[in-house]
Copies of this chain bind each other. A is one copy, B any other.
Amino acid sequence: MNKRFNFASVTAISLVTLALSSFTTTVFAKSANFTEQQIKQVEHIKEEALKSDLAWDIVESLTTEVGPRMPGTPGDEAGVAWAVAKFNAMGFDKVWTEPATFPKWIRYSESASVVSPSPQKLHITALGGSISTPKDGVEAEVIEFETLADLENAPEDAAKGKIVFINYRMDRHRDGNGYGPAVKARSGGAVAAAKKGAVGYVMRSVSTAHHRFAHTGGSHYKEGVTKIVSSAISNADADQLQRLIALGKPVTININVQAKSMGEGTSYNVIGEITGQEFPEEYVLIGGHLDSWDLGTGALDDGAGVAITMAAAKFATAQEKPKRSVRVVLFAAEEFGLWGAKAYAKAHESELSNIVAAAESDFGADKIWGIESNVDDNSLPVIKEIAQMLESLNVEYIETNAAGGGPDLVPLRPFKVPSFRLAQDGTDYFNYHHTADDTLDKIDPVKLRQNAAVYAVFTYMAANSKTKISGKK
């Protein structure tokens, strides 16, 4: 199934390609951080990566042979086993796992319907952590609010005995900037609704899709506030509910969610490392998260990130061992609240200063258009050289030097780890994110190659630069 990646077969072609890349080589002749030989090497890596389907083969294998990987499920276990085997098969020098615990939650079933005035099904999904409804569901009149703030500002008991519907529509944006404002109603909607006396909570999905998929995602309860069912309907169903409500008669719906919180679960960060020759303790950390929601096969979120970074580590180190180590971390239980990332930060707290560059790929598989750093000023010359090398891959240098670096790097932020955003185009990401429609066919193989090439160049240069990149003081 997996066409095996074959370096030998492309060597002849790449020599020609190298000859053609003299422009970049010339530019870098004056490099302070890289030898001429290294510049040739990184050009070669880039060309090889752009021709390779290694990342595709990895994500195809993961999403097909494992499929959905929700933390605590058999799919998650299979994912961990797959990752260990894949790292080994790819020839990483060290492969190991590190445990991470998380609050386990399982979805059994979910359905909803308009009871009156016009009976019809609604496409719904339980938000992560939701309680079950009674066996026959919870049935009540719907009360609509445009935003979470509107709900919070409503009078006490405004929603007494009703099902709250927050109808906020997410904005589409290349940077995914619409996500933040929209996700508030997912995290906090059920609590806010319960405070106003509601018996159930449903929201318009955090979604830019034109299709009838509901988007799941994490949600929270609060001690002292009654737990009510927490759910989301597709954009098409939210439109329908909005139209029905606008007709002016009471609209009654039934929500039936069967789900269960099951105490503490354990999963594993899976880590593959290619050991540095000169400074083996220092390392570039790249990765994605291995877990996914249960509805789709986690192709864009985050099989792509797993594949891009595993492939990039191989590309970056194919010709010679790096100066510093290259570590690919596949984080566990990201979707349930960054549990693998928190475990990693804790387990490695004493040696996080060994990280010379960290970047997580967790925003789909569309093209990378920009690179942003978050490093010490003394490291900026190296960053500029990396950015310059990435220009030929249509990557802009975002000079703000304030990168976040991906969700799983959030627990590393207090430690001022040098972090990077290799910014993907997220215009279409929220069409699929956290839905059943997040499947392999949504990945464009050509764009995936560009992602792997960018990560490979970045990884090579960060691992081999004369100056060690360091974080802000």
Contacts and interface: CB of A to CB of B under 8 A. Distances in A.
A414 interface: no
A129 interface: no
Contacts of A74: 119
A4 interface: no
B64 A440 contact: no
Interface stretch (A41-49, A185-193, A209-217, A350-358): A209-217
A240 B64 contact: yes
Given A75-B119, A120-B297, A297-B120, A243 B64 contact: yes
A440 B297 contact: no
Contacts of A211: 211, 213, 437
Interface string A436-458: 11011110000000000000000
Given A66-B118, A117-B65, A243 B60 contact: yes
A235 interface: yes
Contact of A240 (B120, B213, B243, B439): B439
A446 B265 CA distance: 53
Contacts of A121: 68, 436
A38 B339 CA distance: 75
A123 B297 CA distance: 12
A95 interface: no
A380 interface: no
Given A236-B439, A247-B1, A65 B210 contact: no
A246 B1 contact: yes
Interface in A386-442: 436-437, 439-442
A236 B441 contact: yes
Contacts of A368: none
A55 interface: no
Interface in A67-110: 67-68, 74-75, 78
Contacts of A312: none
A67 B213 contact: no
Contacts of A247: 1, 64-65
Interface in A293-314: 296-297
Contacts of A60: 243
Interface of A: 1, 60, 64-68, 74-75, 78, 114, 117-121, 123, 210-213, 235-236, 239-240, 243-244, 246-247, 296-297, 436-437, 439-442
